Structure 1
């Protein structure tokens, strides 16, 4: 490439609705490569009519850079964003317009930064994730946070990665913390150490990832624990069954004894003390009125009277039935 750069061989970044932060970083690099970053961020002043020739020559050079920067901006946006900078006369005006349209107000920037910080706190390596992929996620998120004004140091990134790794890296993390100062440790150095350990784990378990080997051992332990719990439950059920059976047998025996006791006493009348009972006929104690001789004879006569009345009613009903039957038979004969 020459001093001015060969734009035909470059792949220009295109601004869309979803890549604002990444696009800004790439555009700043592109502006620096084309030596126009200063004019894009700070702009330039227009000399007066009485300006010297040197001042006019400098203005001409700055105007040339500004035109180049404006051309780059127009090439690096999609159609909706191009409409926003159509009327911009300088690269600084176009650049500021694009940044404001995406950044929003201070409240919007603060809300986005809070969301990114929350994601950074909750970020954890996946069970089957690779170290390189996890580092990429962490660095991408921290770069977005930096774009919204958050200060993120290498120490914060190193500590975040160490506390969010899976348990198979515990002894490596302990070794790193004991042997090295985390404040002096580079992110690339930490990544290389963890990737080397990950490679050794994969060599120990060919055909399986390190996390898969750990899962296999955990499944075996869980199966053993489940089997032991199942046996304990069976023994518990068996013990409770025996207790219930023993209790049922004792209840049955007690019920049988109760029934036998009732069978022995069935038909026997309970003896009652009549010494304090007073007769209504003779007013003496020791017997009921119906047990008094006169009372017995009266009771007998009353029963005989009732039986006689019942017999007479029965004879009367029989006579009425016979009369009715004879009448019906006679009526039937006349009809014939």
Structure 2
């Protein structure tokens, strides 16, 4: 029942914003969806970021500023007892998170509890991503080319790790890939060509595919 009441309150608040020109239609700015709210003191539109699966850290920073502008950050920080401020903070939160998340946290009765629930969910996901990235980088550091492998086989392994790392938000620079590739080749078989390439090429600007092509030539 409490959840239904709050959702009704939120719908009413949204309608009030519209009727008083306190609400701006959602629009896209790059990969950021924003909704507008207006501060009486500031007298201008303030954009509220929409939380996504990948922007929690920046979203939280922006929301903190938004709470301060509306003078309700104390509701989040120390859970002060002020129903008017709680309602405002809840309204700001509920217009800044996706509907599926609203359904998950709608039973919570204070803005602080909603804020902490969102934080717990996303920081948990961040820790998992960080752990996967660390495992991937350890694999990258340990990887060496076997005598039985071809240039293409080993290059494919490095490229796969690079792609997985990029998917987790960490780009491996081409210069690092090139240095890793040359360093990991069997020395007895490739020592002369590696020495030559290191002398004639600037590994900071040479592309990974260029290195592979020269070794296969």
Give the structure-2-normalised TM-score: 0.44
Please tell me whether Structure 1 or Structure 2 has the larger radius of gyration of its CA atoms.
1
Higher helix share: 1
Higher strand share: 2
Larger RCO, structures 1/2 (Cα 8 Å, 6+ apart) = 2
